[in-house]
Amino acid sequence: MPWIEWYNALSKPSWTPAPATIGLIWQILYPIILISFGFVFMQAIRHNVPWRVALPFAINLVSNLIFTPIQFGMRNLPLAAVDILIVWATIIWMMVVVWRYYRWVAVAQVPYFVWVSLATVLQLSITWMNWGKS
């Protein structure tokens, strides 16, 4: 079964955004992520910030990138729920550690944090609503 048919067959909350809306939001967020994460990684490479500042950005990036294969490739809702919790938690961690060095980077994460907070509640809801279903 194609992934979209599988996803459409899942029980979801009534407030679930349409796939087109989700795509549009990511089109807005990815440039913010690219610029701010790239900046932090460059500052770490140049030794302007310690690597521990870049660490949560790296963990977040990997966790964000593996969400889609976990959710739609493996179709593993519980693992996707754990993954998105890691994405959510690392955004908070990123904002805290980078604040001292580059406040604009921390502030730039606010839209990402808001969206991932909503997406986390959505993912946890979908996981719960489909728990035990094949």
116's CB contacts (< 8 A; 6+ apart) are 84, 87, 88, 91
Q: What confidence score (pLDDT) does residue 1 get?
A: 79
- pLDDT per residue over 3-62, tens digit each? 889 999 999 999 999 989 999 999 999 999 999 999 999 999 999 999 999 999 999 999
Cα separation, 53 vs 58, whole angstroms: 10
Q: What confidence score (pLDDT) does residue 134 get?
A: 56
Cut 0.85: pTM above it: yes
- pLDDT per residue over 67-123, tens digit each? 999 999 999 999 999 999 999 999 999 999 999 999 999 999 999 999 999 999 999
